[in-house]
Amino acid sequence: MSRMKQKYNDITPALREECGIQNVMQTPKLEKIVISVGVGEEGKDNKLVQNMTDTISLIAGQKAVIVNAKKSVAGFKAREGAPSGIRVTLRGANMYNFFDKLVSIALPRVKDFRGTPRKGFDGRGNYNFGLQEQLMFPEVEFDNIIKTHGMNITIVTSTENDKEAFTLLEKLGMPFAKGKN
């Protein structure tokens, strides 16, 4: 069992008490984590797209997939069938391992890090935030990177409200910014 899964099991009684939940099955939990990257103008360079895919796969510990545009949009210079993004969905053990690595290793390595924004909740218990570059993860070697890029991380929880999702993530160690933000 991963360290973060064990931590979740340890905090569930306090989590249920704080959220006022009697039924054990209604305890908020992580369902999945989605890491996504938009390729933008770099979508024309297959070597760069492959390098980005390999980097995200290395970070996630699971193979990332290239997402192709479904239709052409002239304003975005996107052609149908051309790469528009890279995505990986983590569940189970991979999800807990990535979350542990994110909160205990990667985020503390960010220069001038003041916490993740509290505004990232969507009203349905999901949390979104972005990272500026991939170099904060220990697996990524600077020499193997063609171009630095950011990523969006979406954490999907089983709860339907933001207060319970915030409580869950805070108890799991997510470093939220101080104050209202």
Average pLDDT, the chain: 87
For the cut 90, the answer to whether the pLDDT of residue 140 exceeds it is: no
Distance CA 67, CA 65 (A): 6
Q: Please say if the pLDDT value at position 69 is more than 90.
A: no
Answer yes or no: pTM beyond 0.85: yes
Asked whether residue 106 is assigned to any structural domain, the reply reads yes
What average pLDDT score do residues 104-111 get? 86
Identify whether 156 is part of a domain: yes
- Is residue 21 situated within a structural domain? no
pLDDT computed for residue 156 by the predictor? 95
Residue 24 lies in a domain: no
Q: Residue-wise over 149-166: b if at least 16 C-beta within 10 A, else e?
A: bebebbbbbebeebebbb
Residue 78 has pLDDT above 80, yes or no: no
Indicate whether 70 pLDDT > 90: no
Across the range 85-99, mean pLDDT stands at: 93
Angstrom distance (rounded) from CA 170 to CA 87: 25
Per-residue pLDDT band for 72 (boundaries 50, 70, 90) equals confident
Question: Is the pLDDT reported for residue 181 higher than 60?
Answer: no
DSSP 120: G
- When comparing pLDDT for 42 and 149, which is higher? 149
pLDDT tens digits for range 3-30: 888 998 898 999 899 888 888 888 999 9
**Domain with 101 in it:** 3-8+30-171
Asked whether residue 39 is domain-assigned, the answer is: yes
Nearest 5°: CA angle at 116, between 20 and 62?
A: 90
Number of domains into which the chain is organized: 1
Q: Which residues sit opposite 65 in a β-bridge?
A: 87
181 versus 144: the higher-pLDDT residue is 144
- For residue 83, tell me if it sits in a domain: yes
Percent of the chain whose predicted confidence (pLDDT) is above 90: 36
In a domain, 100, yes or no: yes
Non-local (6+) Cβ contacts of 143 within 8 A are none
Asked whether residue 127 is domain-assigned, the answer is yes
- pLDDT (0 to 100) of residue 180: 63
- How far is 52 from 179, CA to CA, in rounded Å? 35
Per-residue pLDDT band for 33 (boundaries 50, 70, 90) equals very high
CATH code of 96's domain: 3.30.1440.10
Confidence check: pLDDT of 137 > 80: yes
Provide the sign of the torsion angle of the four alpha carbons 103, 106, 108, 111, taken in this order.
Answer: negative
What integer pLDDT is reported at residue 98 of this predicted model?
Answer: 92
